[in-house]
Structure 1
Amino acid sequence: MLYYVLFFLQSNVFMYYGLSNFYQNHRRYVKSRDDSQLNGDLAALKEPSKECEPYRTSDGLPIAPCGAIANSLFNDTLELYYVNSSASKIEIPLVKKGIAWWTDKHVKFRNPNGNNNLTIAFQGTSKPVNWRKPVFELDPSDPENNGFINEDFIVWMRTAALPTFRKLYRIIQKKSSTTPTLPSGRYILSITYNYPVLSFDGRKRMILSTISWMGGKNPFLGIAYITVGSICFFLGVVLLIIHHKYDNRNTSADIPN
Structure 2
Amino acid sequence: MPPANGAAAAAGPSSGSGRDGPPAATAAVKRNRPRYHAFTQQQLPACKPIMAPHMVIPILVFVGLLFIPIGLACYAASNKVFEVVYRYDTKCVPKNMLHNKVGFIQNASINKTCTINLKIPNAMKRPIFVYYQLDRFYQNHRRYATSFNIAQLSDPKEEANADIKDCKPEAYAGKGIPVVPCGLVAWSLFNDTYSFARRPRRAGGIGGGEALRVIKSGISWRSERERLFGKHVYPKNFQNGSLVGGGRLDPRKPLSEQEELMVWMRTAAMPRFRKLYGRVEADLDAGETVAVAVRNSYNTYSFEGGKAVVLSTAGPLGGRNAFLGRAYLVTGMACLVLALLLTLVCLFFPMTEEHLRLR
Is 1:61 the counterpart of 2:177? The answer is yes
- Provide closer, same or farther for how the CA distance between residues 190 and 162 of structure 1 changes in structure 2, counting only shifts above 3 A: same
Give 1:102's aligned amino acid: R
Whether the 8 Å CA contact 1:8–1:182 is kept in 2: the answer is: yes
Residue 255 of structure 2: which of 123, 147, 162 is its match? 147
The match for 1:201 among 299, 304, 322 is 304
One-letter amino acid of the structure 2 residue matched with residue 37 of structure 1: Q
Deviation at residue 40 of structure 1 after TM alignment? 2.9
1:62·1:126 contact (CA, 8 Å) conserved in 2?
A: yes
Structure 1 letter corresponding to 2:292:
L
Query: What's 1:164 paired with?
Result: 272
Aligned partner (choices 281, 284, 301) of residue 182 of structure 1? 284
Tell me which residue corresponds to 1:111.
Answer: 231
C-alpha displacement at 1:9, in angstroms?
Answer: 1.0
Residue 144 of structure 2 is matched in structure 1 by: 29
Q: 208, 211, 217: which one pairs with 1:97?
A: 217
Q: Which residue of 2 aligns with 1:127?
A: 238
1:190, 1:4 → 2: CA distance? 11
Which amino acid is 1:173 matched to?
E
Q: Distance in 2 between matches of 1:50 and 1:203?
A: 31
The Cα of 1:49 is off from its aligned counterpart by 1.5
Unaligned runs of 5+ in 2: 1-114, 343-354
1:43/1:73 CA distance change after superposition, 3 Å: same
Inter-partner Cα distance in structure 2 for 1:216 and 1:133: 26
Q: From 213, 236, 241, give the equivalent of 2:316.
A: 213
Q: Which structure has the greater CA radius of gyration?
A: 2
Identify if the C-alpha distance between structure 1 residues 36 and 183 changes in structure 2 by more than 3 Å, giving closer, same or farther.
Answer: same
Match of 2:164 among 46, 49, 67: 49
Describe the SS at the equivalent of 2:223.
helix
Structure 2 counterpart of 1:255: none
Partner-residue secondary structure (3-state), 1:37: helix
Q: C-alpha deviations, 1:76-109, integer Å up to 9, x for none?
A: 1011110123696421011010111111111111
SS at match of 2:126: coil
**Change over 3 Å in CA distance of 1:24–1:106 after alignment to 2:** same
What CA deviation, in whole Å up to 9, does each residue of 1:17-63 have, x standing for no partner? Answer: 00000000111111100011111342355435211111111223211
2:294 paired residue number: 191
Q: 2-side partners of 1:72 and 1:182: how far apart?
A: 33
Give the equivalent residue in structure 1 for 2:118: 4
Any idea what SS the aligned residue of 1:85 has?
Answer: coil
Structure 2: how far apart are the matches of 1:203 and 1:17? 10
Q: 1:111 to 1:71 in 2, by over 3 A?
A: same
Would the alpha carbon gap of residues 86 and 219 (structure 1) be closer, same or farther in structure 2, given more than 3 Å must change?
closer
Q: Hey, which bits of structure 1, 4+ residues long, moved more than 6 A?
A: 223-227
Letter paired with 1:90: E
Query: TM-score with structure 2 length normalisation?
Result: 0.54
| CA 1:93–1:49: 2 relative to 1, 3 Å | same
Structure 1: gaps spanning 5 or more residues:
175-180, 241-250, 252-257
Contact 1:42 1:112 in 2 (8 A): no
Contact kept? 2:180, 2:237, Cα under 8 Å: yes
Amino acid at match of 1:76: D
1:136 is matched with which residue?
Answer: 250
> What does residue range 221-236 of structure 1 map to in structure 2 within 5 Å?
221=324
Change (3 A) 1:173 1:133: closer
Tell me if 1:40 matches 2:155: yes
Change in CA separation of 1:31 and 1:186 when aligned onto 2, cut-off 3 Å: same
Q: One-letter code of the match for 1:34?
A: N
Shift, 1:151, TM fit: 0.7
Q: 2:192–2:294: 8 Å Cα contact kept in structure 1? A: yes
Instruction: Please provide the CA RMSD for this pair.
Output: 3.7
Aligned residues: 227
Q: In 1, Cα distance between the equivalents of 2:260 and 2:196?
A: 17
Work out whether residues 171 and 179 of structure 2, in 8 Å CA contact, stay in contact via their aligned partners in 1.
yes
Query: Could you tell me how far 1:131 is from its partner in structure 2?
Result: 5.5
Moved more, 50-59 or 154-163: 50-59
